[in-house]
Amino acid sequence: MTVSSEFDRYPKTGRFLAGRLRSEMSEAEKTELEGLVVDTITLRDGARAIARGDACNWSAILIDGFVLRTLENGGRRYAVSFHVPGDFVDLHCFALRRLDHNIDCVGEATFGRVPHDAIARVMEQRPHLARLFWFATLLDAAMHREWIMKLEQSTVPKRIAHVFAEIWRRLEMVGQAFPDGFQTPLRQSEIAEMCGATAIHTNRALADLRRNDLADFRRGEVRIRDRARLEDYAGFRPDYLYGEGSLALRRAG
């Protein structure tokens, strides 16, 4: 079943784990997950969906839009990861109750809210669906580890190239990519926050990527002529996304 048809049938949760373990979900589990969403909320560009330290009794799945996990220090904001449609942006809240970071919208974003008591029932009564929730949080950790390594070893242009490569792959999984790139609400300021770079260095790095025909970022779109060339330049290997490659999860037997 295609991502678009899944989303037609399950408009609030149809992109959850698309391109990864969604094929492992039964129709009953998909229906149950869809029913866990008690309401939806749409927030404006720049809105803070959850602030560090807020007490939460629900977790949210991103239905449409783009959000950043952010930390603030010394008057600066740092983006430590991002989410695309289909991701639970704060499933951690179920265990932690309060996050140690913020969830910020980039562009308008729509969320589906799932009460924590409903997640508790899933944990008690639906072990396979509970395992998929657990996988989603472990996937966040895998992507975070990759980001840490890239920040340690890469130049700013290569960090940006890696971010573009990852966004493209993740949007592709949920049926929201172009054959040669993707649409994004990200601005240069947010790209700088994602890469730990100044605005000046980010501007120069984007110009370098454009001049070397690796990626062209402008007017809310990223266009990439040669995916293999961009990924090779960034040292990007998609295995850690658990969608394909040596770490892909496949049905046993």
* Residues 166-219 pLDDT 10s: 999 999 999 999 999 999 999 999 999 999 999 999 999 999 999 999 999 998
Beta bridge partners of 113: 39, 60
Q: Say if pTM beats, i.e. exceeds, 0.85.
A: yes
Asked if residues 68 and 193 have their Cβ atoms less than 8 Å apart, the reply is: yes
Domain ranges of the chain: 3-140, 150-247
| pLDDT-above-70 percentage for the chain | 98
pLDDT > 50? residue 251: no
Write the pLDDT tens digit of every residue in 92-119.
899 999 999 999 999 999 999 999 999 9
pLDDT > 50? residue 140: yes
Asked if residues 162 and 236 have their Cβ atoms less than 8 Å apart, the reply is: yes
The CATH class for the domain spanning 150-247 reads mainly alpha
Fold of the CATH domain 3-140: Jelly Rolls (2.60.120)
Which of 35-49, 52-66, 233-247 is predicted least confidently?
Answer: 233-247
Interior angle at CA 126, CA 101 and CA 49, nearest 5: 20
If DSSP states are collapsed to H, E and C, what string results for 160-201?
A: HHHHHHHHHHHHHHCCCCECCEEECCCCHHHHHHHHCCCHHH
Asked if residues 105 and 65 have their Cβ atoms less than 8 Å apart, the reply is: yes
pLDDT > 90? residue 27: yes
